[in-house]
Amino acid sequence: RNFLQILGRTTLVTVLVSAGGFYYITQRDRTPGPQMPFDADKKTLVVLGSGWGATSLLSTLDTTDYNVVVISPKNFFLFTPLLPSVAVGTLNPRSIIQPTRYITRHKTRQVSVIEAEATDVDPINKTVTFMDNSEIKGNVSATTISYDYLVYGVGAEVQTFNIPGVKEHACFMKELADAERMQREFMDCVETAAFPGQDAKEVDRLLHMIVVGGGPTGIELSGELHDFLEDDLKSWYPELAGRIRITLVEALPSVLPMFSKQLIDYTESTFKESKIDIMTKTMVKEVKENAVVLQMPDKSIVEVPCGLVVWAAGNKGRKLTQDLMAKLPNDQKNRRGIEVDDFMRMKGASGIFAIGDCTATSYAPTAQVASQQGAYLARILHQMAKTDELEHRLAQLEALGRGVSSGTEEEQKKLKDETEDIASRLQKVKLRPFHYSHQGSLAYIGSDKAIADLPFMNGNFASGGVTTYLFWRSAYLSTLFSLRNRTLVATDWLKVKIFGRDVSRE
């Protein structure tokens, strides 16, 4: 009885302390204190974008070093790895976004956040032009500002290869709005198939979902669609669920080329069990309103009727990036994106740093790379600010030195000592090049299974299955930028476990 009493009290105290801690942290985060104002003596650092690279930079940056201005058409950060979960209603869209101001308002010096799209970067005059592209506009909706340093992190856009009909008829899986649109259109297909009198052929067309691209986005989305079908649609649409088909089309001989062979095989066999058809060596040539046109492995052309096409066929550079590169034709020739040196400096430009998917480096265009580059750049910018301060002080001392030739011996010695000290500190300043540390590749493949290629003792550890899925969940939960997002995502997972996904169409 004594033991039970002690256990009960300990549990109660633990729960109360955790709840108190949780309440304290959330309230502290909700009420940021006053910030230092902009300082006319500091340099202006303009950050373009609020994605993985830019957000990681802002989280690490010491804002006392600069006057920081962030410009992005989205006033939030989107946690892309969980986007396919939003497309099938496992997660609420708001659970995986974080307003940029929630980060910048906690910085020591104020940061100006502007919701606008950069339309031009002038690397010669060091200016950025941007405009308000939102529905509501004020008197001013376009302007130009100058920068001393520019961090260019605008990411990439969907690659359509100019294939006819893709823009008009396919859903993408890149932005939050894409996932919301896909969810609406998917449920529209199902409800339309349930319309009385629909003939069998039309029902089969409406219930055929085609995912284009066997990269991680296409695979994860197909897995999520399968879960939605098994866990929920079978209960609410028993007469239709058995007729829903998911087909994944991939131009290359295999899906997931970045994963090890054994995990590719595991994914293919899991998809087979889940009745997701994989068509490899098959290329989409056109997307029509009610069908896709495929070039089969034997080069024959086949038209496949379908209700929904999701386009996950990779990315390309934005127009803004292409325009910027065109202004530096001698140094920027890579068609994949901006060429940078080992310190993320854009080649041929002064004061521009580029990070993430807009760059052409030896690394894959992933969130892992972009966020490490952002954090690295924040440290480099801090080092540069400190170097600037030392150089400024050295110039002051040298000017003073010229003026105090008539000063006392002691004054002259003090001046000389400080000058020498700063000169030697400046000599020691050495910027370290960016070094990427690969933490492994993870992907969800549906049916409560995930795959993981993890670096292990100079080799690779490949694992797939339910345990890896639990690891996948905990890895992404801990990677989310805030306690708020972690709580929202965990609550959504619990809600879906208890009540299932919502099949209403907004």
From 293, 367, 477, 490, residue interacting with ligand FAD (rule: CB under 6 A)? 367
Nearer to ligand NAI by Cβ, of 11 and 262: the residue is 262
Check if the beta carbon of residue 252 is closer than 8 Å to that of residue 213. Answer: no
d(CA 441, CA 462): 10
d(CA 288, CA 166): 8
Where do runs of H (alpha helix) occur along 172-214?
176-193, 200-206
CB under 5 to 8 A by kind: which of ligand NAI, ligand FAD, none does 71 bind? Answer: ligand FAD
d(CA 48, CA 44): 13
d(CA 341, CA 432): 12
Site for ligand FAD in 376-405 (CB under 6 A): none
CB under 5 to 8 A by kind: which of ligand NAI, ligand FAD, none does 89 bind? Answer: none
Count of CB atoms situated within 10 Å of the CB of 411 = 12
Query: Min. distance of Cβ 310 from ligand NAI in angstroms?
Result: 11
The window from 34-42, 135-143, 363-371, 387-395 that contacts ligand FAD (CB under 6 A) reads: 363-371
Q: Decide: is 214 part of the binding site for ligand FAD (CB under 6 A).
A: no
Strands (DSSP E) along 327-434, which ranges? Answer: 352-354
List residues near ligand NAI by CB under 6 A: 81, 163, 212-218, 220, 249-252, 258, 283-284, 312-315, 364-366, 441-443
Q: Decide: is 71 part of the binding site for ligand FAD (CB under 6 A).
A: yes
d(CA 263, CA 460): 12
Q: Decide: is 83 part of the binding site for ligand FAD (CB under 6 A).
A: yes
Strand order in the sheet with 276-279: 171-172, 308-311, 208-212, 245-249, 276-279
CB under 5 to 8 A by kind: which of ligand FAD, ligand NAI, none does 252 bind? Answer: ligand NAI
d(CA 277, CA 291): 17
Residue 123 has φ and ψ, to the nearest 5°, of -75, -15
Residue 269 has φ and ψ, to the nearest 5°, of -75, -35
Strands (DSSP E) along 388-448, which ranges? Answer: 441-446
Count of CB atoms situated within 10 Å of the CB of 197 = 5
From 232, 250, 339, 357, residue interacting with ligand FAD (rule: CB under 6 A)? 357
CB under 5 to 8 A by kind: which of ligand FAD, ligand NAI, none does 52 bind? Answer: ligand FAD
d(CA 155, CA 47): 12
Query: Min. distance of Cβ 396 from ligand NAI in angstroms?
Result: 48
The window from 58-66, 152-160, 462-470, 486-494 that contacts ligand FAD (CB under 6 A) reads: 152-160
- SS3 call for 464: strand
Q: Decide: is 445 part of the binding site for ligand FAD (CB under 6 A).
A: no
DSSP state of 311: E
d(CA 319, CA 119): 9
Query: Min. distance of Cβ 469 from ligand FAD in angstroms?
Result: 14
Nearer to ligand NAI by Cβ, of 183 and 267: the residue is 267
CB under 5 to 8 A by kind: which of ligand FAD, ligand NAI, none does 49 bind? Answer: ligand FAD
Show Cβ contacts of residue 161 under 8 Å, excluding neighbours closer than 6 positions.
Answer: 313
Which one, of 302, 264, 262, lies nearest residue 282 by Cα? 302
Q: Decide: is 183 part of the binding site for ligand FAD (CB under 6 A).
A: no
Query: Min. distance of Cβ 50 from ligand NAI in angstroms?
Result: 18
CB under 5 to 8 A by kind: which of ligand NAI, ligand FAD, none does 313 bind? Answer: ligand NAI
Q: Decide: is 270 part of the binding site for ligand FAD (CB under 6 A).
A: no
Q: Decide: is 171 part of the binding site for ligand FAD (CB under 6 A).
A: no
Please work out the total of residues on this chain that contact ligand FAD, with binding judged by CB under 6 A: 33
The window from 47-55, 91-99, 107-115, 272-280 that contacts ligand FAD (CB under 6 A) reads: 47-55
Please give the residue ranges that form the binding site for ligand FAD (CB under 6 A): 48-54, 71-74, 80-81, 83-84, 117-118, 153-155, 173-174, 217, 318, 320, 356-358, 365-368, 370
